[in-house]
Structure 1
Amino acid sequence: MSGVTIRPVVTKADRKQFVNLAWDVYRDDPAWVPPLKDEVHGLIDPKKNPWFEHARAMLWLAERDGRVVGRISAQVDQLVLEHMGAGTGQWGMFEALDGEAANALIATAEEWLRAQGMTRAMGPISLSIWDEPGLLISGFDQSPMIMMGHHRPAYQGWIEGTGYAKAKDLLTYEVDIRPEAQGVMARLVAAGEKNPRIRIRAVDKSNFERDSAIILNLLNDAWSDNWGYVPLTPAEIAYAGKKLKPIIYPELVRIAELATGSEPGAGFEPAAFMLTIPDVNELTRDLNGELFPFGFVKLLWRLRKPRTKRIRVPLMGVAKKLHGTRLAGQLALMLIEHIRRDAVGKYEATHGEFGWILEDNQGMMSIAELPGATVNHTYRVYEKAL
C-alpha cells in the first residue's frame, strides 16, 4: 500500500470531494442511508451554519495515488471550551477507506488542535454535539434514523489504535409504539389528564417561531447539567427552527404546560416538550443524496402526508426546576403517550426511537424503558490527552 498524503480542503471542488467520499465508503453497506448532499454542504459552510460564529474548523482530505481515501475535520468551539473544559478540542466528519488513511487523518487533526493550544482531543463529533456525535459501535445491521450517524465497524479499532479511550457512550432506544400504555405508565398518564393544572398542547405552526423558541429554550434549560452540553445560541435556535419546520407535524410535537397558580384564570407556563419527527431517511433513501433536478419535488410530495414506519424523538426535556420530581416523569410519560396515539392513528407508524441518551442518565433511561424500549444503537465519544 503506497503512502497517504493529507491536504486541506480549500476549493469548491475539494468540498465536493469531501462530501462525496461517503458514497465510496458505504457503497456496499445495505444499512447506510445516503445523506442529502445539500445538507452536508450547509453544515460545513461558514456562510450558512451559525455554529461558525463561535467556532472555527479545518477540513482535510487523505489521498493515495490521486484518489481520495479519507476525510476529517478538527474544530475549536468557544462554547465547548466554556462548558466542557479549557483545552478541549474536537474532531469529526471522519471517514476512511483503510487504517493507514485513518491514522494519518487523526494525527493531522491532533497536530492542528495542539497548534490551537488544545490539550485534549475528543471525537468524533461532527461538527457539534447537536449534529452527529459519537462513533457507531453497535447496531450496524439497522439503518440509522434521521439525524443519527452510521459507520464502518473497522473505525472503532482504528481510533482506539491511536490511543483514544471512551469518554461517554450515547444510546438510542427502539420501541414498538402500537400497544397502548399499560400499568404504571397508563395510571400516571390518566392521572395527569385529569389534573387541570397540566395542559398538553400541539405546536402551532402558524406561530412556529414562538413555539420553536419555547422548545429550544426549554432544551437549553433542561440539558444544561448534562455531560457534553453546549448551549444553542439565538442564531442557532433560529437556524434549527427553519431547518426543522418542513418536517414538523403538530400532532408529533407537544409542549406540556403547568398552571402558574391555583386560582381560576391562572396562566400557564411551558414545563416540558417532546419533539418527534418521521424518519425522513425512509423518504430520502432512494434519492441518493440528490435533491435536484427531481429529488426536491419528490421529497416535498412525500412530506405532505408522510407515512413512515419509524418515528424518532431526537429532543425531549423537562424544565430543570422539576428535575428529580414525580411530576417530571409524569409530564414526560404524558407527552410520550399523547404523541404515540397520533403517530399510530394518523401517521401509521409502528416503531419509535428515543435518543440519543447518555449511558448514565438513569432518569431518561427509565422513562424510555417503561414502555418497553430496548437499546438498538450505541455511539461512543472518545477522548485523548494531546
Structure 2
Amino acid sequence: MASSDLVISPVSNKADRKAFVELPWAIYANDPAWVPPLKGEAHDLITPGKNPFFEHAEAQFFLARRDGQVTGRISAHFDRLALEMPVEQGMGPGTGNFGLFEATDEEDAHALIAAAEEWLRGKGMTRVLGPISLSIWEEPGLLVHGHDHPPTVMMGHNSPAYEAWIESAGYTPAKKLNCYEINIKKGFSPLVQRIVESGEKNPRIRIRHVNKKDFDKEAAIILNILNDAWGKNWGFVPITDSEIAFTGKKLRPIVYEDLIRIAEVDGEPVAFMMTLPDLNEAIKPLNGSLLPFGWAKLLLWLRKPQVRTMRVPLMGVVQKLQSSRMASQLAFMMIELIRRDAVAKYGATRGEMGWILEDNQGMVAITKAIDAFTNKSYQIYEKGL
C-alpha cells in the first residue's frame, strides 16, 4: 500500500520489531510528559511466547515508512475470548481491535488504520474497537484529556493530534474511561470516616494485607473476585491464569503487602483493592534502558520507594454485594486504610484511581465522596467494517 512516498508494510523480522518498539522515542522526543517504557517489556508485549495474550489472540503489526524512515506504527488484532462475549458488553462476535498506534501526520495515520482494517476484514471481523493496546487489561483507549502531565504506572500517553486523526478516519466514540486524582494527604469527609469506623467495629468484616510469601494463592483469590466483580462491565474479557501469572511476575517488584488489601465478610473474600507506587517516577530518567546503571538505581528505589503518587488500577466487590451498603463500606475502608499507609510509609501526597468507566455509577459515586476529580480521560472508538 503506497501513497506518494508513504509505504505501509507488515512487521516481518527482528529489525522491524526493533523499529516498532523504538518509534515512540522519535515521536515524543520533545514531549516532557512522555515516560519511556522499559524496552525489554515493550518487546515482550508484542512477542508471542512471551505475552500470554497471544494464547487466545492473533495480531499483525504494521510500520509506516517514508524514504526508508519509520514514521508510524499500528497493531491489528483480535481476541478470541472477546469474540465470545455478549455484544451488549462492548465486545462480541466480529469485533477486532487496533492499538499501539503512533503516527507523525494524518496521512500516515489514515494509511496505518486502513491497513489494520484490511487485515481485520480478512480475518472475518465486521467492527473495530480501538485503540486497545493490546488487551483490554493493558492500555485501553486514546488519551483525550490530561496530556499536560505524565501518566502513572501502566497508563498510556499519546499525542493530542491523534483524536482528530482517528475521528477523521470514520471512528466515533464508543466509551470513555476516566482517571481520578485524589489529595491523599488530607483525610476524607466526616461521613466517610464514620462509615469506615463503623466497619472497623463490625466483627463480620476483616480487611487484611496480602501475603507476598503466598503470592500465587493471593493472586488466585484476587482473580476470582475480579472476574466475578467485573463480569458484567462494558468491555470485560475474562483474564486467564497465565495472564495473571505474567502480570504478577511483572508487578511483583512493586507489590507491597500493605498497599493491596483483601476484604473478607464472615471469612469469605469478597472485595480487593490493588494500589501500586508510581514506578514511572523511577523509570522516566532511565530512558527505556536498565543499562549500564539503571538496574542499580531501580533496585535501590524498589527497596523502599518514596513516591509522590499511588495508583489504584484495580478494585472490585463481588456481584452479590454490589447493590448493598456493604459494598461501598468495604470500598471506603480499603481506600482509607491504604491511604494511611501510603502517606505514612511511602511519602505519597496524591492518588490516582483508574480507569473507571464514565457510566460506572457506583465507582463514580465513591470518587465524589472522597473529593476526587477527573485528571485524565481515555476514549475508545468504534467503526463498522
TM-score, normalization by structure 2: 0.97
Q: Which residue of 2 aligns with 1:29?
A: 31
Q: Does 1:43 align with 2:32?
A: no
Q: Does 1:125 align with 2:132?
A: yes
Q: CA deviation at 1:181?
A: 2.5
Where 2:152 maps in the other structure, the secondary structure is coil
Q: Does 1:8 align with 2:10?
A: yes
Q: CA deviation at 1:142?
A: 1.2
Amino acid at match of 1:339: I
Structure 2 residue corresponding to 1:140, chosen from 123, 143, 147: 147
Q: CA deviation at 1:294?
A: 2.0
Q: CA deviation at 1:182?
A: 2.3
**Does the CA-based 8 Å contact 1:60-1:71 persist in structure 2?**
yes
Cα distance between partner residues in 2 of 1:258 and 1:216: 17
List per-residue Cα deviations over 1:16-75 (Å, max 9, x = no partner).
Answer: 100100001101111111111111111101011111000000001000011000000000
Cα distance between partner residues in 1 of 2:363 and 2:245: 27
Q: CA deviation at 1:2?
A: 4.5
List per-residue Cα deviations over 1:261-317 (Å, max 9, x = no partner).
Answer: xxxxxxx11010000000100001100000123212211111110011000000000
Structure 2 residue corresponding to 1:201, chosen from 177, 201, 208: 208
Aligned-residue CA RMSD in angstroms?
A: 0.9
Q: Which residue of 1 aligns with 2:114?
A: 107
Structure 1 residue corresponding to 2:101, chosen from 73, 94, 99: 94
Q: Which residue of 2 aligns with 1:265?
A: none
Query: What is the correspondence of 1:219-368 to structure 2 with a 5 Å cutoff?
Result: 219-259=226-266, 268-368=267-367
**Does the CA-based 8 Å contact 1:272-1:319 persist in structure 2?**
yes
Where 1:41 maps in the other structure, the secondary structure is helix
Q: CA deviation at 1:239?
A: 1.4
Amino acid at match of 1:254: R
Q: CA deviation at 1:76?
A: 1.2
Amino acid at match of 1:240: T
Cα distance between partner residues in 2 of 1:368 and 1:144: 19
Segments of structure 1 that go 5 or more residues without pairing to the other structure are: 260-267
Report runs of 4+ in structure 1 exceeding 2 Å deviation.
none
Where 1:201 maps in the other structure, the secondary structure is strand
Structure 1 residue corresponding to 2:167, chosen from 160, 185, 189: 160
How many pairs align? 378
**Does the CA-based 8 Å contact 1:38-1:291 persist in structure 2?**
no
Amino acid at match of 2:56: H
Identity %: 60
Q: Which residue of 1 aligns with 2:88?
A: none
Amino acid at match of 2:66: R
Amino acid at match of 2:324: T
Cα distance between partner residues in 1 of 2:153 and 2:293: 21
Cα distance between partner residues in 2 of 1:215 and 1:49: 20
Q: Does 1:213 align with 2:220?
A: yes
Q: CA deviation at 1:213?
A: 1.4
Q: Which residue of 2 aligns with 1:151?
A: 158
Q: Which residue of 2 aligns with 1:264?
A: none
Structure 2 residue corresponding to 1:18, chosen from 17, 20, 24: 20
Q: CA deviation at 1:252?
A: 0.6
Cα distance between partner residues in 1 of 2:234 and 2:51: 24
Cα distance between partner residues in 2 of 1:69 and 1:353: 33
Cα distance between partner residues in 1 of 2:138 and 2:244: 13
Segments of structure 2 that go 5 or more residues without pairing to the other structure are: 86-90
Amino acid at match of 2:36: P
Higher mean C-alpha displacement, 287-296 vs 328-337: 287-296
Cα distance between partner residues in 2 of 1:169 and 1:329: 23
Cα distance between partner residues in 2 of 1:188 and 1:89: 43
Cα distance between partner residues in 1 of 2:117 and 2:251: 33
Cα distance between partner residues in 1 of 2:43 and 2:224: 27
Cα distance between partner residues in 2 of 1:45 and 1:292: 22
Cα distance between partner residues in 2 of 1:158 and 1:138: 16
Amino acid at match of 2:16: D
